Amino acid sequence: MSMIKYLVVFGTELGCQKQLRKQERMNKIMDDNRQEQIEALEVMAEFNERVLKNMRILIKELSGARLDDTNKFIQSIVDAMNWEIEVMNGTMTLLNEGKERINKEDFNAHVVAVANAINAKDDAMMAEAFTNVLPYFEKLGEAAKEVLA
């Protein structure tokens, strides 16, 4: 075999080996990423139940049973919602794998309505917005559990 042909064949083999190693590294990263997503969904699924319970309590407070610490309670619920939204955004491909379980646009529209109601500082408006977003967080928890099953 001529030296040039040998170098071309050898170079091609090296290129294939490099590509194979690169693909193996990418597969490992993707497997690690999937495992991290599963772990995040496990934590969120457990956390979600408490968030839903507290959202229902908050709705009652905003519907006429306001307490001295309701504003702090609103903030803690919003923080919890934001955390769940972050997890949802980071796991959306896994959550919707095989079928759409979460429609991000609908979900976000209801979250924006909550933000608008909070900015308006209107308890009735906030109660309605939290009531309307509650099913989306219920569905998020159900979707997480379904994916984990």
Question: pLDDT of 79-110, one tens digit each?
Answer: 999 999 999 999 999 999 999 999 999 999 99
140 by DSSP, 3-state: which? helix
Of 34, 56, 44, residue with least CA distance to 145: 44
- Residues 114 and 129: their CA atoms lie apart, in Å, by 5
**Is the CB of residue 25 less than 8 Å from the CB of residue 121?**
no
d(C-alpha 2, C-alpha 23), whole Å: 31
Q: What is the pTM of this model?
A: 0.78
pLDDT tens string 43-82: 999 999 999 999 999 999 999 988 999 999 999 999 999 9
